[in-house]
Amino acid sequence: MNQEEHPRWSAETDRVLRGAGWHPGRSVPTDEWESRLGERGGFEMHEAARRFLAEFGRLVSDERGPGKTMARMGFRLDPTVAEWDDEIFDVLSEEVGADLYPVGDSDRHNSYLGIAPDGAVYIGMDSAKLLAETADRALEKLVEGIR
């Protein structure tokens, strides 16, 4: 089965991500984020965060409006949005029972996005909610406005 028979995500998600600068094989360095957040925020980047940010870091979507089951809120994939909020991530990590690493925010900085070592993506600020079991599905839910 090739990529056309089983696409990675929906055509809409592909359109939005490509519009934000993503392309197959995209890779951006993560060492500056890892160093900066480690020194200033006490965060330790795990492999799932490193892989996610290498492929999707620096992407921004301002797509807002009606979605499939909730409004599309836009997102920014930049871990430095949580640079000084390690205490919030400590609480969210404890709540979900996994070491969440910040990967960005959504809804105009009203919710953080964090990724667990197993690749599950969580969303929240005061409390965390599983967004999706995989990064690809999390991106699709953010783009398409799926609860």
Ordered per-residue pLDDT tens for the chain, 147 residues? 444 567 899 999 999 999 999 999 999 999 999 999 999 888 999 999 999 999 999 999 998 877 888 888 889 999 999 999 999 999 999 999 999 999 999 988 899 999 999 999 999 999 999 999 999 999 999 999 888
DSSP H helices in the chain = 11-19, 31-41, 47-56, 86-96, 135-144
Model's pTM, two decimal places?
0.92
- Give the full edge-to-edge strand order of the sheet including 101-106: 60-61, 75-76, 101-106, 111-115, 121-124, 128-132
Q: How many CA atoms lie within 13 A of 65 on its CB side?
A: 3
List the one residue out of 147, 20, 142, 21 whose CA is nearest residue 75: 142
- In 3-state terms the chain splits into helix, strand, coil percentages (rounded to 5) of 35, 20, 45
Rounded alpha-carbon distances, angstroms, from residue 63 to 9, 49, 58, 74, 77: 17, 24, 16, 5, 14
Domains and CATH numbers, the chain: 11-144 (3.40.1580)
